[in-house]
């Protein structure tokens, strides 16, 4: 302890001693003076009036009742306790944050499309006039558009027993029966088949056979093998729309159908739109060809050739889009999933444990989501509360200058 | 810790008996009216010293005890003594009032404060009090607040530090400095 600190401690002790004994007791002259000052200050402390003391004592005994004739009632009439608006603002800010967070969560979950987009929508967007039209990329038929060559996907290396194979589709010869000449409808279906583990191999082979029998093909397949043979599998088939019902029926005969869905998308409008634009683009190109033949100067000829090149690319792109829709409406897409029967059947303790685990995971996920919403609100509310308190304390202290 | 505090004669007159020592455990379970009886004269003395207005002091004291009554279940002995808690509420109410009014009125002297003294002693006492009051008036508001807490309120250094939001050593140093200032002013 420094000398100053010693002096302070000694002085404070002397003051406390004087207050405790109500007497000047220090030997040191300076401390004696401090004690005298302390006692003088305390002696000058104001005392409450009898009437006020009695009224307040009564109010305390009665639990501070409110009324105009009570001490507190009169005080309430003179002293208005104004709640600082800051706390109201802080509460309002917390509510706004809660609403904003809630809306963002709702919007993010609502972003997922609830309806299937019309297939080919990405490829039916109108090309800007005069823009360089790039040929469309390979469609899901596995065939590059705008080119006569077909691109084959390489087989993926087998890893952990899984393999992906792609079979190039047969050339599209056009003129397929569409069922309804005026409408263009893309049809698709998905199916989940379950079979005992020792039958999955046969079922997998049967899927490809069914597709071939109905003049279809396997676009994509994936089969996962385990210790006991095939474990799971998935197939993407393409069959003529006229054969869709029969194909689904035969697939259902292969194994136990766990689920089946079918969907249709009417793409007549985009198809018609592309047709119209193709006509217009073709007419424009023919017009440019005629003008090219009548060109009077090299500059005019070069300009026309440039425009003709753009027009040709546009026509090619539109034709490719049209072909894509025609193929998609000519062939139905069928997705088939294979699963081992008995794996997802609820029976026994193991299944009960799985169900319990899934329920727990679901509840935990929900709790985490709720926490994700509530935590920022709580943080904002806490910060706002702390800020209000700090500001209120600062304002109070400012009364002392 | 010795919790027995001396008080001014005026404050003593307001009490039937001096406040008995009270342990922290007893304080935690002390009924509110007992806390009120134990602290009321000192709280009033502190508030009145700060506001220097009798009517305002009564208003604020009543308001402070009502607030304390409403919040009594929120008191936690781990955070400090009940006296410091009540004085904290009273101080906040007084500062709110100061902000609202921004005025200082002269508190009427209570002639009953000086009892049983000879005329010479009365004159000496009055002179000393006037000297002390003049010295107090020259203090900064924060220093006056600290003096009021310590001497009118009768708080210990630890309780005073708690109310002011300071460390005990810091509060003690500031108090010593303030009292030294008063001593020098009284000597002049």
Nearest to B8 among A9, A44, A59 (CB): A44
Closest of A256, A196, A200, A202 to residue A224, by C-alpha: A200
CB-CB: which of B4, B132, B145 is closest to A37? B132
User: What ipTM was predicted for this assembly?
Assistant: 0.77
Whether residue B109 is predicted with pLDDT greater than 50 in this model: the reply is no
User: What pLDDT score was predicted for residue A161?
Assistant: 43
Higher per-residue pLDDT: B148 or B185: B148
Can you give the pLDDT at residue A254?
Answer: 94
Task: Give residue A68's pLDDT band: very low, low, confident or very high (50, 70, 90).
Answer: low
* pLDDT at residue B130, rounded to an integer: 81
pLDDT given at position A139: 46
The predicted model gives B154-165 an average pLDDT of: 92
pLDDT one-digit tens code per residue, A236-290? 999 999 999 999 999 999 999 999 999 999 999 999 999 999 999 999 999 999 9
Mean pLDDT of chain B: 79
> Which has the minimum average pLDDT: A103-112, A135-144, A365-374, B73-82?
A135-144
CA angle B53, B20, B14 (to 5 degrees): 30
Q: Answer for the pair A358, B58: CB distance below 8 angstroms, yes or no.
A: no
Write phi, then psi, for A117 (nearest 5 degrees).
-70, 150
Furthest-apart CA atoms within chain B: distance in Å: 51
* Best of B58, B91, B174 to mutate (most A CBs within 10 Å, chain A): B58
Answer yes or no: are the C-beta atoms of B147 and A34 closer than 8 Å.
no
Per-residue model confidence (pLDDT) at position A70: 53
The pLDDT of residue A2 is 77
pLDDT digit string (tens) for A174-221? Answer: 444 545 557 899 999 999 999 988 888 899 999 999 999 999 999 999
* pLDDT given at position A99: 75
Q: A318: closest CA among A85, A145, A64, A143? A: A145
**pLDDT value for B18:** 39
Which pLDDT band, with edges at 50, 70 and 90, does A119 fall under?
very low
Q: How far does A359 lie from chain B, in Å, by closest CA?
A: 40
Top-confidence residue, A221 or B103: A221
Nearest Cα of chain B lies from the Cα of A400 at a distance, in angstroms, of 5
B25: closest CA of chain A, how far (Å): 23
Q: What is the dihedral of CA A142, A148, A154, A155, to 10 degrees?
A: 50
Per-residue pLDDT, averaged over B95-118, amounts to: 60
Predicted confidence at residue B22, as pLDDT, reads 56
Q: Are B14 and B114 in contact (CB under 8 A)?
A: no
Is residue A210 within a helix (H) or strand (E), and if so which, with residue range? helix A200-213
More confident residue, A91 or A14: A14
Q: Detail the DSSP E strand segments found in A169-210.
A: 185-195
What CA–CA distance (Å, rounded) separates A179 from A220? 26
Using pLDDT thresholds of 50, 70 and 90, give the confidence band for residue A8.
confident
Residue A167's pLDDT is what? 54
**Chain A residues closer than 8 Å to B63 by CB:** 75, 79, 81
Q: What number is the average pLDDT over the span A224-241? A: 82
**Chain B contact set for A75 (CB, 8 A):** 58-59, 62-63
- Contact residues on chain A for B110, CB-CB shorter than 8 A: 46-47
- Site from B1, B4, B6, B56 to mutate, A interface, most A CB atoms within 10 angstroms: B6
3-class state of residue A170 by DSSP: coil
Q: Is the pLDDT of residue A115 over 60?
A: no
Mean pLDDT is highest, among A109-113, A155-159, B119-123, for: B119-123
Q: Give the confidence band of B64 by pLDDT, cuts at 50, 70, 90.
A: very high
From chain B, the residues in CB contact with A79 under 8 A are 59-60, 63, 97
Does the pLDDT value for residue B185 go beyond 90?
Answer: no
Judged by average pLDDT, the poorest of A220-224, A342-346, B155-159 is: A342-346
A292: which 2 tokens? 């090219």
Q: What is the pLDDT of residue A128?
A: 42
Q: Work out the burial of residue A169: count CB atoms within 10 Å of its CB; fewer than 13 is exposed, 13-18 middle, 19 or more buried.
A: middle
Is the pLDDT score of A149 beyond 80?
no
Q: Label residue A374 by pLDDT band (50, 70, 90).
A: very high
Q: What is the pLDDT of residues A301-312, one digit of tens each?
A: 999 999 999 999
């Amino acid at each position: 302890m420094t000398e100053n600190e010693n002096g302070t401690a000694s002085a404070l002790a002397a003051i406390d001693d004087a207050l405790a004994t109500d007497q000047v007791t220090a030997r040191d002259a300076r401390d004696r003076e401090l004690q005298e000052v302390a006692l003088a200050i305390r002696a000058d402390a104001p005392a409450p009036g009898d009437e006020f003391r009695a009224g307040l004592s009564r109010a305390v005994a009665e639990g501070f009742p409110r009324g105009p004739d009570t001490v507190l009632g009169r005080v309430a009439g003179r002293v208005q306790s104004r709640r600082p608006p800051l706390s109201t603002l802080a509460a309002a800010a917390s509510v706004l944050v809660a609403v904003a967070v809630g809306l963002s969560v709702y919007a993010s979950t609502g972003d997922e499309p609830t309806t299937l987009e019309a297939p080919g929508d990405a490829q039916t967007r109108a090309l800007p006039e005069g823009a360089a039209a790039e040929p469309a990329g390979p469609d899901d038929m596995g065939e590059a558009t705008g080119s006569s060559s077909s691109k084959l996907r390489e087989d993926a290396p087998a890893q952990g027993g899984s393999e992906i194979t792609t079979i190039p589709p047969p050339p599209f010869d056009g003129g397929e029966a569409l069922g309804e000449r005026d409408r263009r409808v893309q049809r698709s279906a998905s199916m989940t088949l379950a079979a005992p583990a020792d039958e999955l191999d046969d079922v997998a082979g049967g899927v490809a056979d069914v597709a071939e029998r109905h003049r279809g093909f396997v676009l994509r397949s994936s089969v996962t093998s385990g210790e006991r043979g095939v474990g799971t599998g998935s197939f993407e088939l393409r069959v003529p729309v006229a054969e869709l019902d029969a194909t689904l029926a035969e697939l259902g005969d292969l194994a136990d159908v766990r689920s089946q869905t079918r969907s249709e998308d009417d793409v007549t409008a985009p198809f018609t739109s592309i047709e119209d634009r193709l006509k217009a683009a073709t007419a424009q190109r023919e017009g440019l060809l005629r003008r090219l033949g009548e060109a009077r100067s090299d500059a005019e000829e070069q300009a026309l050739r440039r425009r003709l090149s753009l027009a040709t690319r546009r026509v090619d792109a539109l034709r490719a889009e049209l072909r894509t829709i025609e193929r998609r409406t000519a062939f139905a897409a069928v997705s088939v999933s294979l699963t081992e029967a008995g794996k997802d059947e609820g029976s026994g303790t193991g299944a009960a444990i799985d169900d319990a685990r899934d329920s727990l995971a679901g509840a935990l996920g929900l709790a985490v989501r709720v926490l994700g919403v509530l935590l920022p609100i709580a943080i904002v509310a806490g910060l706002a509360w702390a800020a209000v308190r700090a500001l209120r304390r600062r304002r109070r202290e400012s009364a002392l200058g | 810790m010795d919790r027995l505090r001396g008080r001014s004669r005026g404050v003593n007159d307001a009490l039937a008996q001096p406040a008995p020592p009270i342990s922290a455990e007893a304080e935690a379970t002390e009924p509110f009216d007992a806390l009120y009886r134990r602290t009321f004269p000192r709280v009033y003395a502190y508030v009145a010293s700060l506001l220097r207005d009798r009517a305002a002091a009564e208003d604020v004291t009543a308001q402070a005890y009502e607030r304390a009554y409403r919040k009594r279940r929120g008191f936690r002995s781990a955070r400090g003594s009940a006296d410091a808690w009540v004085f904290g509420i009273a101080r906040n109410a007084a500062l709110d009032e100061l902000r609202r009014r921004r005025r200082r009125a002269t508190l009427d002297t209570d002639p009953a404060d000086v009892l049983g003294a000879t005329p010479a002693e009365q004159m000496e006492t009055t002179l000393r009090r006037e000297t002390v009051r003049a010295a107090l008036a020259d203090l900064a508001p924060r220093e006056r607040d600290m003096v009021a807490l310590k001497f009118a309120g009768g708080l210990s250094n630890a309780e005073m530090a708690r109310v002011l939001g300071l460390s005990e050593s810091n509060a003690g140093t500031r108090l010593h400095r303030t009292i030294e200032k008063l001593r020098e002013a009284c000597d002049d």
